[in-house]
């Protein structure tokens, strides 16, 4: 019964079981430049591999450059003609994000695709170097600032090449478990009321709201860039390492029902490259198909408030 459910195809022709290779088969990304955050492991590494295999020049943005280099060498061994480079990025540090953006600008490269993939999950309470709750800082604020700093390059690239730019925010179905008010603007750093799962949900809700607000602004400006968010699926990764018992179950019994990295990277590769995703913006995806997020995630006023709030945080 389970294999049939997982292989049942949606409107796109793909399913839970589809891999990143499968959803991008026959698609050329030649001439495109992509940035993938968190490209040193898991679905980030797989996304970088597939985009490079399809012909894109991929900038692997990672905190752990040694691990990213191991991934890069493995991709080159598998696809000798692949074009990948490493750039250091710690999304929990606004200074690191600014340095990355400045270094990328200095390279003079175009930018067609931005995959905001990196993240942390259900971590114990801590503050970033900038005094922001760590999950919110890493999963949302860092990616917000990164996107903000790269937007002019993306707009210039899409205008000069007449090729649609695509921004992909990797969210999660965990966004449904955010705090009841959605985003705790007044209590973001409140340790006493901190919940590892609700704080994770809050950061993932922010990913969706960010993509939706970007989409709204792009439409208003007439910019040829789309912004979407997605749930990659429940994946066998190291994100639950802070919860030892859950992590053990996740890595053992989870193998029966959880996606591997090749399946987990499918939706973001689909949204980043597939022709059928062209012109689709401000939407939420799962299993390479359109999916309905929570009501909070569709709250445009909350999205605008979050935009202004985050701008103040990074100012």
pLDDT in tens, 290-302: 999 999 999 999 9
Q: In terms of Cα–Cα distance, which of 182, 214, 63, 60 is closest to 128?
A: 63
Range of the domain at 84: 19-314
Mean pLDDT of 276-301: 98
Residues forming beta bridges with residue 133, ordered by sequence position:
127
Contact 211, 308 (CB under 8 A): no
pTM, full prediction: 0.93
Give the pLDDT band of residue 43 (cuts 50, 70, 90): very high
Report the distance separating Cα 76 and Cα 309, nearest Å: 42
> Does residue 236 register a pLDDT over 70?
no
Is 219 among the domain residues?
yes
pLDDT of 306 strictly over 70: yes
Return mean pLDDT, the chain.
93
Please report which confidence band the pLDDT of residue 5 belongs to, taking 50, 70 and 90 as the band edges.
low
Q: Does the residue 1 lie in any domain? A: no
Nearest 10 degrees: Cα torsion 84, 106, 33, 140: 90
Is residue 213 situated within a structural domain?
Answer: yes
Residue 144 buriedness (CB in 10 A; 0-12 / 13-18 / 19+)? buried
Residue 5 counted as domain residue = no
- Segment 103-131, tens digit of pLDDT: 999 999 999 999 999 999 999 999 999 99
- Collapsing DSSP to helix, strand or coil, 272 comes out as helix
Beta strand spans in the chain (E): 33-37, 57-62, 83-88, 113-116, 165-170, 225-231, 284-286, 289-291
Residue 4 has pLDDT above 50, yes or no: no
CATH number at 186 reads: 3.40.50.720
Q: Which of 194, 200, 270, 284 is the catalytic position?
A: 194
235 pLDDT band (50/70/90 cuts)? confident
Terminal alpha carbon distance of the chain = 52
Number of domains in the chain: 1
Pairing verdict, β 225-231 and 33-37:
unpaired
Percent of the chain residues past pLDDT 90, beyond the cut: 90
200 annotated active-site: no
Mean pLDDT of 131-159: 98
- 3 state SS of 194: coil
12 assigned to some structural domain: no
Instruction: Say if 179 falls within a structural domain.
Output: yes
């Amino acid at each position: 019964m389970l294999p049939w459910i997982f292989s049942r195809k949606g409107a796109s022709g793909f399913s839970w079981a589809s891999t990143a290779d499968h959803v991008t088969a026959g698609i050329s990304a030649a001439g495109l430049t992509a940035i993938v955050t968190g490209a040193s492991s898991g679905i980030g590494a797989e996304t970088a591999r597939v985009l490079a295999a399809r012909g894109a020049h991929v900038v692997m943005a990672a905190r752990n450059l040694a691990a990213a280099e191991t991934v890069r060498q493995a991709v080159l061994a598998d696809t000798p003609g692949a074009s990948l480079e490493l750039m250091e990025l710690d999304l929990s540090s606004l200074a690191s994000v600014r340095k990355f953006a400045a270094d990328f600008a200095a390279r003079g490269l175009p930018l067609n695709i931005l995959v905001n993939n990196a993240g942390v999950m259900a971590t114990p309470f801590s503050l970033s170097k900038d005094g922001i709750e760590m999950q919110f800082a890493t999963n949302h604020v860092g990616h917000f600032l990164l996107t903000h700093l790269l937007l002019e390059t993306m707009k210039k690239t899409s205008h000069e090449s007449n090729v649609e730019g695509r921004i992909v925010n990797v969210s999660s179905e965990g966004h449904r478990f955010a705090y009841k008010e959605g985003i705790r603007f007044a209590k973001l750093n409140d340790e006493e009321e901190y919940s590892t799962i609700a704080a994770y949900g809050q950061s993932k809700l922010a990913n969706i709201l960010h993509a939706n607000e970007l989409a709204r602004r792009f439409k208003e400006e007439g910019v040829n860039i789309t912004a979407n968010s997605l749930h990659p699926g429940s994946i066998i990764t190291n994100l639950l390492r802070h919860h030892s018992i859950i992590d053990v179950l996740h890595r053992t019994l989870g193998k029966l029902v959880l996606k591997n990295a090749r399946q987990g990277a499918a939706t973001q590769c689909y949204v980043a490259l597939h022709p059928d995703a062209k012109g689709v913006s401000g939407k939420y995806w799962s299993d390479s198909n359109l999916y309905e997020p929570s009501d909070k995630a569709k709250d445009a006023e909350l999205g605008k408030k979050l935009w202004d709030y985050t701008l103040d945080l990074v100012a």
